[in-house]
Structure 1
Amino acid sequence: MSPSNPTPPSSAALSLEQQICYAMHTTVRAFDAVYRELLGEHGLSYPQYIALMTVGEHGPLTVGRLGELMRLDSGTLSPLLKRMEAAGLVGRARDPEDERRVLVSVTAAGRDRLAALGDVPHQIARRSGLTRAQLVELRQTLRSVTEALQEP
């Protein structure tokens, strides 16, 4: 109870099954399991998949910009990139325009891996049981919710 709301919450409002956070949590776990299965066949984790797609789509990126796009901090991103570089999927080099920055680019092997992953989005869509229109609507809704939650 708060001073502005003297009525205690009902037990239904505190039910786990009524919580949007729980619905999101279980959905994310289900997606993670499907991605782990599909990406495991290609030797990638989900964060590696997202990083490879991001660098492949946007071209060489600074580590900082990649982190912004992926919404990951450098402490998480650096070990991820190190493993991807060791696997030959990306290259890291100092930016010739500013030696303090490191550029990440996709290698030929990384491009080949991306090509081999081309069916993953289709498989995810199929496994979700949603139509294309429903998936588009869901993505738009999730983006709106994310933006609203990130506002100060």
Structure 2
Amino acid sequence: MTDFVEPQAYDLRILRALRRITRSIALHSRQLAAGSNITAPQLICLRAIVEKGPMTATAISREIHVSASTVVGILDRLEDKELIRRERGREDRRIVFVSATQAGITLARETPSPLQKKLADALNELPELEQATITLSLERIVDLMESGGVTPVEVSTELASPILEVPDGRIPPESGLVV
């Protein structure tokens, strides 16, 4: 299948593969934004709201694995686009619930997946065991990175973003991750 590689080279191969994945995700996110006027993190957030119904920003943060402060920025942009609305709770006015507008529901349902269709189709073609192996391997890498001190101390309590972005220098990425 693959040529034998010296064990010390695996870390470099993994790093290169992660960088290639990051670049590919960034490119797809830009294409999604150009075609739908919504970024991948915004779409993931919007889809969570549409799927789960009214939620608090904290609940959204947990659902999509992004820090609460990042979610607030995403929600601000979605609200500016009139795709969501924020409403105070009836029983406790301190709690703010976020729900999708009709335009948000329509966009969430009609916009292509934040995961590249080509990749999604290719993964679906693989046997279930291979899909599970890939998933478990990636999750293990995340666990190793998060437990091995790779996560900077100042953001170690924040949740990881499901979408990595490469900043283009004009606007900081919504995911909060700079690669």
Look up the match of 2:86: 92
Within a 5 Å distance, the mapping from 1:19-34 to structure 2 comes to 19-34=13-28
Aligned mate of 1:109, from 103, 106, 119: 103
Q: Please report how far the alpha carbon of residue 37 of structure 1 lies from its aligned counterpart in structure 2 after TM superposition.
A: 0.6
Structure 2 distance, partners of 1:129, 1:62, is 33
Q: Please report how far the alpha carbon of residue 43 of structure 1 lies from its aligned counterpart in structure 2 after TM superposition.
A: 0.3
Structure 2 CA distance for partners of 1:129 and 1:50, relative to 1, 3 Å:
closer
Bigger-Rg structure (1/2): 1
Secondary structure of the residue aligned to 2:122 is: coil
Residue 116 of structure 2 aligns to which amino acid in structure 1?
A: I
Unaligned residue ranges in structure 2 (runs of 5+) = 1-5, 149-179
C-alpha offsets along residues 98-145 of structure 1, whole Å, 9 cap, x if unaligned?
22221111110001101221x436x82325772414384334543454
Aligned mate of 1:142, from 117, 138, 143: 138
Look up the match of 2:35: 41
Matched, 1:63 2:57: yes
TM-score (norm 2): 0.64
What is the aligned residue count? Answer: 139
Identical columns (%): 22
Structure 1 distance, partners of 2:108, 2:42, is 11
Q: Is the 8 A contact 1:17 1:23 kept in 2?
A: no
Structure 2 CA distance for partners of 1:146 and 1:97, relative to 1, 3 Å:
farther
Look up the match of 2:70: 76
Secondary structure of the residue aligned to 2:82 is: coil
Q: Is the 8 A contact 1:35 1:124 kept in 2?
A: no
Between 1 and 2, higher relative CO (CA 8 Å, sep ≥ 6) is seen in 2
Larger strand percent: 1
Look up the match of 1:120: 113
Unaligned residue ranges in structure 1 (runs of 5+) = 1-10
Residue 89 of structure 2 aligns to which amino acid in structure 1?
A: D
Residue 54 of structure 2 aligns to which amino acid in structure 1?
A: P
Secondary structure of the residue aligned to 2:61 is: helix
